[in-house]
Structure formats: C-alpha cells, structure tokens
C-alpha cells in the first residue's frame, strides 16, 4: 500500500508542476564520478611547510593533483584512491622555493563520463619564517645537524629571536644552527658572557648543571640565555589553589620533554607554570598547549595523573582521572 501511495504522489507532483501525464525524477546517480578538494584545506601557507589537502572522491580510482601558478606547474602527483574510501588526506612538502610565493591554485583533474573535469582551490604561498636549531652533545640531538632541535620565534613580529625548551647536560656543549642540513652559519661561544659568534672557531656553549632549560637566542644582537626550569601545576582545582604550585617531576633525560604529577583535584581550573612564577606558563586544551594559553577545565573531582609534554612544536597535556 505504501508503494502505491508513493507512485501516486510522484504522479501528482508531475501533473501539478509540469502539466503533463508523467513525472521525471532528476538527481545525481550514486555511480557519478566526482572529486573535490575539501573546503577545510588551508588558503594560506608558508613555503617550506607541509601542506595537507583533503579530497572527497566518489567512484574515481585515480586523479591528478597539481599546484599551478601563473601558468606554470610547480608540483604534480597522481593520487590513487583506496576502495571504499571517499575521504582522504594527503601531505605535500612545499619546498623553500621563492618561485612559489604569491597567489596560486591547487588543481585536480579527473575523468567523468568520458570527459575531463578540472577543479581548483585558490591558495597563497607566503615567505617562510627564519629558522634556528640547537645541536650538540648536551642535547638529545648530539652533534648531527639533521637531528637538531627546532626553535620557535618569540616576541611580537620578531624574525630574529628564538627559543626552545630542552634538557641539557653540563658536559658535551651545544651550538645554534640556522639550518638542520649542515654547519653553515653556526653560532658558538662569543667573547663575553651571554654572547654568541659565527666565527668558525667559536667554542661550545655550556650550562653549569644538568636540567631542563628554556634556551633563547637573538640572531641580530648575537646574545643568548639559558634558564633552568622546574614545572608545577596551579589553579583552584589544585590543593594549593591559585596561591601555591604543586611541583611536577621531570621524567627522562636528554631528548625527553615530559613532566608528571599525581594529585587530587577539585572541580575547577588549572594551569602549568615554571619556577613558581607566571613569566612562563602553559594552558589551552590537552591536545594543543600554548604559552599563556587559557585555563584548563577540570570537570569532576578525584585523583588525577597529569602529564605535560613540551616536545618542540607540539606541546600537549594529559589529564587522566584514575
């Protein structure tokens, strides 16, 4: 009976809208061949970065992806689509090539119904930020430039001041490198305390004792500083409230970045900070911790394991109730 009513409804639809005795239903077939670039794909990126592009594909085994600028193909790759996988993401290494800088298009080309279909997604490539790295026997990287620890820019609009957090040993020494390819342009010990030099004969930089440090350098003024850190957790969810930190314990040595503590928490908020002071503090969300980030919510009371991971470029936290 439901089927009869369905056909009657379709027939009436045709008579009322088209004025004829038949109704033709028009829609996309599930067999149509379609490929699109996901709208969440970025529209601006610096050269030298990894570009993630999301694709949505139906009934297409392969398609061509390219980056084109002013009629020139800068990059091209044939993409294979896994069976029954309609959504896929690919990562492309954008080289430190100034010919990319400016407005360009991400382009996909595929076959559908015997025709070639082309779609584009506009993107702007920007000049890359300067880079700086730490390398040396005092670090987990050792003296191999390709293993060097990346630093990040700090300071408003600065292109010359860099910092990172790293466990350093008193023996071994370290230096700064503007590249993680070789020793070209490296910075070592300057002539006066707190200064650095690009002299090829410059000695190693050192710290007085083993520990977890914030390392900073200024490539313009040729200065550097190291600050030994002890991390803690604070907030109205902690036993000490906003007035007193609960100390955390560093786990590991060179090449590790994890601080931990177990404690009872109340419903409220917490943050992580260094040396019982607000000059260096961390907040945000567990998957994306940032310096100066927002308070972290604790939704229920209980015993928690807290973990702060300050791996360069990917600060995270775990807040796990036992």
What CATH fold (topology level) applies to the domain 133-228? Immunoglobulin-like (2.60.40)
Look at residue 6 and tell me whether its pLDDT is greater than 90: no
Domains 133-228 and 231-321 in one fold? yes
pLDDT of residue 78: 96
pLDDT of residue 222: 98
Residue closest to 267 by CA, chosen among 234, 304, 300, 303: 300
Q: What is the pLDDT of residues 93-110, one digit of tens each?
A: 999 899 999 999 999 999
What CATH fold (topology level) applies to the domain 231-321? Immunoglobulin-like (2.60.40)
pLDDT of residue 31: 61
Tell me the mean pLDDT in the region 50-69: 94
Q: What is the pLDDT of residues 254-297, one digit of tens each?
A: 999 999 999 999 999 999 999 999 999 999 999 999 999 999 99
The residues spanned by each domain of the chain are 1-30, 34-126, 133-228, 231-321
Task: Give domain 34-126's CATH number out of 3.40.50.150, 1.10.10.10, 2.60.40.1930, 1.10.940.10.
Answer: 2.60.40.1930
């Amino acid at each position: 009976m439901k089927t009869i009513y369905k056909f009657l409804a379709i027939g009436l639809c045709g008579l009322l809208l088209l004025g004829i005795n038949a109704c033709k239903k028009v829609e996309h077939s599930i067999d149509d061949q379609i490929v699109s670039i996901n709208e969440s794909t970025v529209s601006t990126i610096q050269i030298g970065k990894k570009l993630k592009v999301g694709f949505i594909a139906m009934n297409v085994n392969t398609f061509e992806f390219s980056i084109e600028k002013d009629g020139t193909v800068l990059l091209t790759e044939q993409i294979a689509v896994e069976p029954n996988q309609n959504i896929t993401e690919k990562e492309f290494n954008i080289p430190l090539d100034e010919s990319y800088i400016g407005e360009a298009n991400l382009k996909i080309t595929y076959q559908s119904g015997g025709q070639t279909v082309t779609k584009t997604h506009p993107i702007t490539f920007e000049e890359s930020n300067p880079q700086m790295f730490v390398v040396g026997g005092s670090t987990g990287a050792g003296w191999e430039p390709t293993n060097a620890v990346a630093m990040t820019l700090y300071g408003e609009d600065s292109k010359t001041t860099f910092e990172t957090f790293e466990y350093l040993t008193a023996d071994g020494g370290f230096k700064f490198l503007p590249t993680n390819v070789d020793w070209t342009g490296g910075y070592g010990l300057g002539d006066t305390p707190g200064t650095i030099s690009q002299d090829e004969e410059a000695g190693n930089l050192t710290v007085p004792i083993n520990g977890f440090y914030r390392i900073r350098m200024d490539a313009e003024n040729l200065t550097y500083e190291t600050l030994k850190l002890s991390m803690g957790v604070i907030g109205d969810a902690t036993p000490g409230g906003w007035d007193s930190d609960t100390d955390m314990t560093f786990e590991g040595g060179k090449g590790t970045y994890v601080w931990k503590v177990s404690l009872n928490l109340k419903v409220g908020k917490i943050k992580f900070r260094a040396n019982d002071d607000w000059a260096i503090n961390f907040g945000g969300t567990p998957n994306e911790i940032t310096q100066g980030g927002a308070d972290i919510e604790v939704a229920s009371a209980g015993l928690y394991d807290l973990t702060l991971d300050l791996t360069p470029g990917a600060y995270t936290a775990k807040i796990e109730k036992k």
